[in-house]
Structure 1
């Protein structure tokens, strides 16, 4: 790895192949052109790159990472190459599953949906429980733009990672994954104009959106779902620990663990994916916001476990230093 020393600080050349729209790095990027002696900070950590960023970064002949964050880059690059070099690995799996989930949302009342969802989730659980599974490598392939079906798939992946971190067994993880994958099923019963509206909803529109957990719960029951935990995750993922959520205004101790987990992952994915009218807030900024500003909405212990998912990944990197 080529190094460059300026003012006694060491910088290491990175492979520019990793620079793509929608990616998010846990390290700062520094740029330099041929005739320049100094390097300059050109992209900060914890924010997803957009098209404008790609254009700016392409202006620099060389891109570097500081020695203090070299291991973070090396870990990211390793995961990047793993995803690239094994085409039938997680990337293709995610895309294939995404297509299936899209079909489910286009035909939400088909009875075979539950079996398809169970099959999808079982495969995901097996992947996540595998010893070689890396949370960061999965995050790099999650859809960066907010669509109902990709959002549901992302929330399911995050929920399974969180459930694993909390010590859930395989069967509980499978049920949790099904609940998370179906948590927004009720949105298929709401007007596309409302679901896809850019910007703030009117009071009437928001009241319509607030019906989707009940719709989804009823649809899941009609499809033959009887597991109470799965149904509670679908119905109560918008409840808040202070009792101000919907549809049942449940308070902390009455909200099921599935609903609490899905609520955390739902908020995280909504804030870290790009919308046509709002860019991602970035992983770290979102976690801080969830911890400090949403304590009355999200279960604190579950949020701590979710942060632990990311800390665990960072700890693995630090141990390799």
Structure 2
């Protein structure tokens, strides 16, 4: 068995990514590229001479990546975006990769050879975070919003929202309905919701990003009425008695990432990775229906004028560091 109790990392074993166990991938270049486990290792420019040894461990927010040994500095990319750099002496330093289904992890040496040390696609439930639902909005047509978490929480488009290829454009009475959210085999007692979006235009009405409804309880992320082209963002876990609003204002026409997290007693609001509000409220968390881009339960008011690029809904409450990393990946 690989891994030790107490969260320690076993340096003896080597395995592909499976279950919730410690994951190890080693690559050694001896004039050629050697593929080990489930990873594919590719040639870079020049004769490959770099060596690297990484471990991977699943967390509720994604995979932690730790170099055990490096012969050169390495850039780590998630879906082509650099998310971390390991110096040659960075052995033992851990970074969080907020992996979601379909993500691609790449590690490239920073020397002149630019050797690709790791190139793998995350496609297993044991390699990603604690998702309730995950929406990428990268379709080009159709009336269904696919839940890529594997939990089957697909949504149905209502009105005439427009697919752009990397987002869904909302206007008028457009919204998406997701009925009967569920995580098979799990009772949800806390959550984190993250939305990458852009609000367009200026309006004195509420622009709803996402709202969850269960009986008399509702939680949401929304942008209350704008003043000119400036607006605030609000997070509620049991409206109207429990809500917090950002102290800062944001400008229409710009992309932002709003995150709300609730652990059953404390709820916090983050915008672009910065905590902008927090408060306390004791309550159970129940799964119900989700409306994207409009007010729940019917989706006929507080409609969003703008685009949504990505939504992540987790069954775990996250702290500041996890939310910062998730916001960077979504931004």
TM-score band w.r.t. shorter chain: 0.3 to 0.5
TM-score (norm 1): 0.33
